Structure 1
């Protein structure tokens, strides 16, 4: 399924995206604000992860975020831990191409994912986790309508300091009400 906004579109991730994803997954600057584990992965480990976890799971859906003007893949958005019975999922976004940071591509991509989750999949609730030092992401999520629901205190150690992981969520009705305004 293809969704697009003024500047970006989502396309389903394929095995052909593995090397690009591998580049993003091993870029410590990219992963610093989104991945609790700052491990370096071999290409073989990434291939296995893509095939088994990203593409092989019935409980996740991943899409490459493509900048439309140049047709350049710039990141990935995913719904993971999908619980169809209770209509819940967790979302993840990574902008892997750093020259696109801070230019509004992330919000556009995440909004497309939320549109898909709430309007097409009819999910009831989407959650996410964000590191407490990632203030820009927290502002984005709040602007999209996510609410802080709690935190895992001092559960992330980065740069010699303990940080909280903040848990946020949004309900389908909250998202739809916000979109109508």
Structure 2
């Protein structure tokens, strides 16, 4: 169905369309809320490709190699063997089809086996029910709540803190 692979500089053009779509970025990185020009997206993408403290992977369909978007683990602490998982699916045609759960399982496998992490956490907007369900199916457990930590569409909502430990995986 999907596979994780390395992002290439030419993949940036996909992000122009995705970041311009308010529905796609509604629960995503706060940085995406302020990017409005190709130059801003180019600069962010270039930093992403060269970020040594993160594992950044493209999400590709296995049959056509279509880029659906990207996922990975940021803020990797080699000392604490931990990091923060992120997922961004720009191709709306693939929403609700199990991609989030499958990508999350593959990213956890990379984090626990190749990066030798012990703990992977994430934050997710509480209204993002699809995301919460995908993360739960992949093994994440609820740890806590950041009350009214996110402002979208003029309303505050809570962010949920979830994690999974290598021993639980």
TM-score (norm 1): 0.87
Structure 2: gaps (5+ residues) = none
- Aligned equivalents of 2:39, 2:155: Cα separation in 1: 32
> RMSD between aligned alpha carbons?
1.4
Partner of 1:179: none
Cα deviation 1:118-163 (Å, max 9, x = unaligned): 1121111101110011112112211211111112111212233321
Mapped pair 1:172 → 2:163: no
Mapped pair 1:87 → 2:87: no
Cα deviation 1:87-128 (Å, max 9, x = unaligned): 111111111110111111121111111111111211111011
Partner of 2:67: 73
Mapped pair 1:42 → 2:41: no
Cα deviation 1:63-85 (Å, max 9, x = unaligned): 11111122211121121111111
| Paired residues of 2:101 and 2:137 also in contact (CA < 8 A) | no
- Aligned equivalents of 2:66, 2:142: Cα separation in 1: 33
- Aligned equivalents of 2:123, 2:5: Cα separation in 1: 24
Partner of 2:98: 104
TM-score (norm 2): 0.92
Partner of 2:121: 127
